[in-house]
Amino acid sequence: MFRALSAAAVAVMAVAGVAFAAAEAQHPRDGNFSFESPLGGYDMAAVQRGFQVYSQVCSTCHSMDHLAYRHLGERGGPFALYMVRNEETGELEPHVGESAHGGRFVDVTDNPYVRAIAQAVTISDIDPNTGQPVDRPGRISDHFRRPFPNEIAARAANGGGYPPDLSVITAARHGGANYVYSLLTGYTGASEGTLYENHYFPGGRIAMPPPLADGAVPYADGTATTADQYAHDVSTFLQWATDPHMVERKRMGVIVLAFLLVLASLLYLGYKQVWRNESH
Amino acid sequence: MSGPSTYEPKSGFTRWLDKRLPIIRLGYDSFVAYPTPRNLNYWWTFGAMLSLCLIVQIVTGVVLAMHYVPHINLAFSSVQRIDRDVPFGWLIQNIHSVGASMFFLAVYIHMFRGLYYGSYKAPRELLWILGCVIYLLMVGTAFLGYTLPWGQMSFWGATVITNLLGALPVIGESIRNWLMGGFSVDQPTINRFFSLHYLLPFVIAGVVALHVWALHESGQNNPTGVEVKSKADTVPFTPHATMKDLFATTLFIMLFAVFVFYMPDALGHADNYIPANPLQTPPEIVPEWYLLPFYAILRAFDFNIGPIDSKLAGVLAMFAAIGVLFVLPWLDTSKVRSMRYRPAARQFFLVFAVVCFGLGWCGGQNPGNILAKSGDFTATLTWIQGGQVATQPIEAQSAAQWEEAARAAEQGAQGAAMMAVTRSGATTGTLRAVSGGSPQTRTVRAATTDELETEISAVKAEVGSAAPFFTVERYTPFTFTVTRLAQVLTLYYFLFFLIILPLLGLRETPGRVPDTIAKPVGDGQTQGAA
């Protein structure tokens, strides 16, 4: 005979359907990104492709408020234009993204690529003559177009979930670009209601449906159009968006540290010289 | 200490100036002719680095303030604008945020040096206390500054800290509301935090001037702790100390540069790149690394002490942890300054240093994390497989008579294999009794409570509707959590200052102290490396 136990706390109803355990998020897998090493820069072709993936897929839900179209064409940006003289023909040739040796940077206001990107976007604005709301083509000074006018609209369109702004997403998540890459490729295929199982997401379930599918975005440069490649490229783009001055920063660091090393050596010699006859 | 001034103006202008404003004389006496003990080691170079840190923080801070907007909706964007659009804004912002960490790194080494070599003892008590004031101001300034980017950690850190002050009796709530400028962290808070963050560094600079003044009055301590007795014990500050400080400071700047250029975010928290959201508490709220030891002390108090509740006890302990430094000159009773000649004290000091690191580690961990346990968490589930369930409503006359009514109902269902009462209201409930069927039992084990609950749920899901209900008996082993460790470490922290140092000074047998710093005693070499 079992003792009768009163109180609801101990008499627990047999409720089936325990679902996923709220386990710790899985450690992100390594995307072997070029920018991870101390002196590594960005693969600018990947940043360009990643921007394409963002524009055609992510930007339908995710804003990037802190970026303007002009940032794409500023020094170190994926669509920065450099005029490089061809050694054989003597002609000036445009290089986009990577600055070849001796290339002359073209100011972003004269950059046709960035202008085209901005103009392809429709921006809601106020008509300067009538004061009425108006849609106009984008300008390079515009910030990236927001998919939703406000958070309420974003939640209403996404089953209550709020797609976060992606401007600094790789800095705002532990694991950075590797996390984004793992998350985008980490769907198991299982879902429950409006939530999708993804072990890289804290809690194991995410409101974002699997966003990338093989072949969804056509690439012009012949790169494989797989979901894994898209995820890798867009993670590279988002890392650039978070840290656009990384290349400049790392390059300056080398110069600063080299200078300090020489300075420290000279000061050490000076210090030894000053103290050579002093007991201490 | 400094003796009469040896400055002699050379040119007509300097003679003219010296009669009216002897500022060059002041500089010469303070930083050129100033006699410095000749036996100072590299631990004495951190004062120079700290001066540099203060200047760097003020200069970069003034530039940042030209671009920063103290507004709840614009602050985060304005920091992004500094990083992206302001010429070299990314560099200035990195230097300022990394600079805060470097400042604390240097100040902690400076303080541990003072502790080890007894630099707080007579006649340097005020020098030490001024240093403690600077440290306290630094903590305040750093906290205020961390709030300004208005990320998640900024907002929730500000919320936690201001609420802590609310725990103080009587005045707490007023202080909290005054700090916040309202009843929650909001626009008035960011405005006044910005104002104070701009003000306090100049207060620090003022106290630093007093600190340096006091230093030049009493003279520097040195690794032997023996006072300077003659000119033979000293060298002029310039070029001897100047060159050494410059060299050491350059090494320090190299470390600084490695962080600024290669790991600018390594010392911060990822959540601070998420704009502040008052409706969403982050999974963990942690301060910057340099405040983690105090955070661990705060959280170590998970129990009430008589009339003092745990929150207030934690706050008081946290402040006491800094406060005890102020009275340290009178707690340490030893006549010998330097721990180089106090072998016993040196052991306790080393443990103390480890304890401080340990507290820092605890501060960064989830307080409930289990470090060691006596066994597994286990649970025994019991249920009846395939029995008949009889449901019977229970009605009590009043809420007070509920227990009685429930017991009466149970009495009435004697003979059932297992029964359970579910209370659905103050006076109502149901009794479910199972008869027949076969009793089953199963035991599950797990490493944590969460995992145990998962295991229990799994069993229930597996058995499903074959059992009407379960009884679960949980066994919790003895666990040693991060909080317990923090309690042990906190205890040592206070024991060191309040018991060990006062008693040790009276009871220990110090080693032989040299007569002068220039002529160490015979076995001075074995007492400790220079």
pLDDT, tens digit, 9 for 90 and up, residues B451-508 = 888 888 888 888 877 777 788 888 888 999 999 999 999 999 999 999 999 999 999 9
- Cα–Cα distance, A83 to A92 (Å, whole number): 6
Q: Do A275 and B243 touch (CB under 8 A)?
A: yes
Residue ranges matching CATH 1.10.760.10 in chain A: 39-64+149-242
How close A224 gets to chain B, by Cα (Å)?
32
Query: Are the C-beta atoms of B274 and B151 separated by less than 8 Å?
Result: yes
The answer on B215 and B231 residing in a single domain is yes
* pLDDT of A6 higher than 90: no
Residue B246: inside a domain: yes
The answer on B160 and B300 residing in a single domain is no
Domain C-terminal end among B240, B270, B300: B270
Question: Domain span at residue B429?
Answer: 377-477
Q: What pLDDT is stored for residue B102 in this prediction?
A: 98
For residue B377, count other CB atoms closer than 10 A to its CB. 22
Residue B279: inside a domain: no
The CATH class of A39-64+149-242 is mainly alpha
Q: What pLDDT is stored for residue B396 in this prediction?
A: 85
Closest-CA residue of chain A to B80: A66
Tell me the three state secondary structure of residue B443. strand
Tell me the three state secondary structure of residue B440. strand
Closest-CA residue of chain A to B36: A280
In b/e form, how buried is each residue of B142-172, taking b as 16+ CB within 10 angstroms? bbbbbbbbbbbbbbbbbbebbbbbbbbeeeb
Which ipTM value was assigned to this complex? 0.89
The answer on B307 and B211 residing in a single domain is no
Instruction: Give start and end residues of each alpha helix (H) in B166-241.
Output: 172-180, 187-218
Label residue A9 by pLDDT band (50, 70, 90): very low
Q: What pLDDT is stored for residue B519 in this prediction?
A: 61
Residue B276: inside a domain: no
A261: chain B residues, CB-CB within 8 Å: 254
How close B204 gets to chain A, by Cα (Å)?
28
* pLDDT of A177 higher than 60: yes
The answer on B473 and B487 residing in a single domain is no
Q: What pLDDT is stored for residue B3 in this prediction?
A: 67
Residue B32: inside a domain: no
Q: What pLDDT is stored for residue A19 in this prediction?
A: 35
The answer on B388 and B527 residing in a single domain is no
Label residue A236 by pLDDT band (50, 70, 90): very high
Chains A–B, number of C-beta pairs less than 8 Å apart: 150
The answer on B351 and B209 residing in a single domain is no
How close A200 gets to chain B, by Cα (Å)?
16
Q: What is the greatest pairwise CA distance in chain A?
A: 99
The answer on B179 and B79 residing in a single domain is yes
* pLDDT of A21 higher than 70: no
Q: What pLDDT is stored for residue A153 in this prediction?
A: 95
Q: What pLDDT is stored for residue B1 in this prediction?
A: 46
Q: Do B270 and A1 touch (CB under 8 A)?
A: no
Tokens 């073209």 belong to residue: A106
Residue B359: inside a domain: yes
Closest-CA residue of chain B to A274: B240
Label residue B222 by pLDDT band (50, 70, 90): very high
Q: What pLDDT is stored for residue B451 in this prediction?
A: 87
Q: Which CATH number is B230's domain given? A: 1.20.810.10
How close A59 gets to chain B, by Cα (Å)?
19
For residue B268, count other CB atoms closer than 10 A to its CB. 20
| Mean pLDDT for all residues in chain B | 92
Q: What is the Cα Rg of chain A in Å?
A: 26
Q: What pLDDT is stored for residue B387 in this prediction?
A: 78
Q: What pLDDT is stored for residue B391 in this prediction?
A: 84
For B273, which of A14, A168, A268 is closest by C-beta distance? A168
Region at B219 (left for phi over 0; alpha for psi -120 to 50; beta for the rest): left
Selected residues 438-497 of chain B with any CB under 8 Å from a CB in chain A:
439, 450, 454, 457-458, 460-461, 463-465, 467-472
- Cα–Cα distance, B444 to B380 (Å, whole number): 7
- Cα–Cα distance, B290 to B103 (Å, whole number): 10
The answer on B312 and B257 residing in a single domain is no
The answer on B216 and B178 residing in a single domain is yes
Residue B22: inside a domain: no
Label residue B420 by pLDDT band (50, 70, 90): confident
Q: What pLDDT is stored for residue A215 in this prediction?
A: 94
* pLDDT of B530 higher than 80: no
DSSP secondary structure letter of residue B151: B
For B270, which of A4, A174, A263 is closest by C-beta distance? A174
More confidently predicted of A115 and A10: A115
* pLDDT of A36 higher than 50: yes
- Cα–Cα distance, B80 to B272 (Å, whole number): 12
How close B377 gets to chain A, by Cα (Å)?
17
Query: Are the C-beta atoms of B381 and B456 separated by less than 8 Å?
Result: yes
Extract the tokens encoding B160. 């936690």
Residue B33: inside a domain: no
Q: What pLDDT is stored for residue B415 in this prediction?
A: 73
**Tens digits of per-residue pLDDT, B262-317?**
999 999 999 999 999 999 999 889 999 999 999 999 999 999 998 899 999 999 99
* pLDDT of B22 higher than 60: yes
Q: Do A16 and B253 touch (CB under 8 A)?
A: no
Q: Do A253 and B250 touch (CB under 8 A)?
A: no
The pLDDT of B238-255, averaged and rounded, is 97
Residue B356: inside a domain: yes
Domain C-terminal end among B223, B241, B270: B270
The answer on B491 and B472 residing in a single domain is no
For A21, which of B273, B417, B454 is closest by C-beta distance? B454
Of residues A226, A185, A235, A227, the one with CA closest to residue A206: A185
The pLDDT of B38-42, averaged and rounded, is 94
Q: What pLDDT is stored for residue A98 in this prediction?
A: 82
Domain C-terminal end among B236, B270, B304: B270
- Cα–Cα distance, B445 to B381 (Å, whole number): 11
* pLDDT of A192 higher than 60: yes
Closest-CA residue of chain B to A252: B261
